[in-house]
Amino acid sequence: MSSRVFKLISEEAHRQKYGLEMIPSENYVSANVLKALGSILTNKYSEGFPGRRYYGGNEVIDKIENYASDLAKKLFGVPLAFMQSYSGSPANMAVTMAVCQPGEVVMGLALSSGGHLTHGAHLNFSSIFYKAVNYSVGKDWKIDFVELEKLAKKHKPKLIWVGTTAYPYKLEYKKFRKIADLVGATLVADIAHIAGLIAGGVHESPVKYVDIITTTTHKTLRGPRGAMIMVTSLGLKRDPEMKAKIERAIIPGIQGGPHNHQTAAIAVSLEEALKPSFKRYAAQVVSNAKVLAKELGTISEVHLILLSLTNYGYGLGYQAQYALEEAGMTVNKNTIPGEPASPFYPSGIRLGTPALTSRGMKEKDMVKVAGWIKRALEEIRGLDLPKEQEKRKDFLKEIKEKLHKSINLKKIRKEVEAFAGKFPVPGIQ
């Protein structure tokens, strides 16, 4: 046994139990998911698909993968579900390969507007091997469908992504379908962030509007790190060869054997998501986010909040993330639409309620959390990012030292630790 590794795991367990995890793409899995993830299934190699493996000894693995697929089909109401993608980005890469030839046009929400790297961001495979066109949000921070339609008519994309990573509003799939039909594009919904909200019935499902769905399993769905690709009835009608195309893209296209322990753990989380208690959880996530957003002076319709810090000064995302971490609260710095500073030192933070809700926190607790956030953010007021790039490195080093010594942040941290310690974390004693 590596005493060093398990000592570090204990340190992380302490951090998780006595802190407030608010990165909206993070969550806590159940003890049963952890058990499956740490099982002997990790020992088996299973290249290929159920009934068509390159290795022997996969009779049980076939049953597990088929069972997981059946659960996904039942939960989301689709005829076809693939369970082998290692994570969200490989899933999106496989779908792009299945739908598009290199050099063809793909469209997705710009990273600066809350989109994802794999939807056509600069330096990502989706813009290196394909011609990427990005649509954006308007001044109201909502997707600009007028711009989207103009761009689609001009560039005739083969694939249009509808999916976000930092977008606090519900998605209007019907509008995307109309535009996709105008130009003959395959419409793919990346529901990584909102899969649990869809499964829980608090966000509209894209199933009747899109051709393909991709999702991670480790965000609001409360599963292990992994991903799924699902094809809708509309997608199969559009292209009866889609099943074979996606299979070829997965293997031999971009990966080898699946992670069987991961597949089993996903199956456990899908079983949990099919229970009535999960619907209550999803509703609570959204209710908590709405309260937290209101207390912070903004709006959320989903599980996450994108908070502008421009009222506190210039380029304060990094400083805010560090200050909140010193106070025992984990968020991530994030660009805001029309970012006035820098993608590396942005003007906002992204936070959410999935993990807090998994621990049993309710609306009244969000009021407390918002109070601590606002107190912590007062510590960065006036600590504006230098506009001269050469001054930033030394400035940020000084800021970290200043915030680390802050008496107010230390006081908040003690209050947060006393509060957080009262709420259980699955898998942590």
pLDDT at 161: 98
Known catalytic membership, residue 225: yes
Banded model confidence at residue 427, pLDDT cuts 50, 70, 90: confident
CATH code where residue 293 lies: 3.90.1150.10
| Sequence-distant (≥ 6) Cβ neighbours of residue 116 within 8 angstroms | 88, 92, 108, 109, 161, 163, 164, 165, 190, 192
Residue 1: predicted pLDDT: 57
Catalytic residue check, 45 = yes
pLDDT tens column, 231-283? 999 999 999 999 999 999 999 999 999 999 999 999 999 999 999 999 999 99
Query: Mean pLDDT in the chain?
Result: 97
Whether residues 266 and 299 share a domain: the answer is no
The answer to whether residue 157 sits within a structural domain is yes
- How many domains in the chain? 2
Domain boundary among 241, 273, 305: 273
- CATH number assigned to the domain comprising residue 102: 3.40.640.10
Among candidate residues 21, 190, 247, 326, the one labeled active-site is 190
Domain check: are 92 and 211 in the same one?
yes
Q: For 34-40, what is the mean pLDDT?
A: 97
d(CA 69, CA 83): 6
Average pLDDT estimate for 320-331: 98
The answer to whether residues 46 and 192 belong to one domain is yes
Q: Which domain holds residue 171?
A: 31-273
Q: Decide if 353 is catalytic.
A: no
pLDDT single digits (tens) 398-424: 999 999 999 999 999 999 999 999 999
Q: 17, 44, 45, 131: which one is catalytic?
A: 45
* Strand 332-334 relative to strand 348-352, pairing: antiparallel
Catalytic residue among 158, 177, 219, 222: 219
Terminus-to-terminus CA distance in the chain, angstroms? 20
Annotated catalytic residue: which of 47, 172, 415, 417?
Answer: 47
The secondary structure element, H or E, covering residue 131 is strand 131-135
Q: Which tokens hold the place of 181?
A: 């039909």
Catalytic residue among 73, 225, 243, 402: 225
Q: How confident is the model at residue 55 (pLDDT cuts 50, 70, 90)?
A: very high
Same domain, 126 and 148: yes
* Domain boundary pick from 238, 253, 273: 273
pTM: 0.96
Is 190 an active-site residue?
A: yes
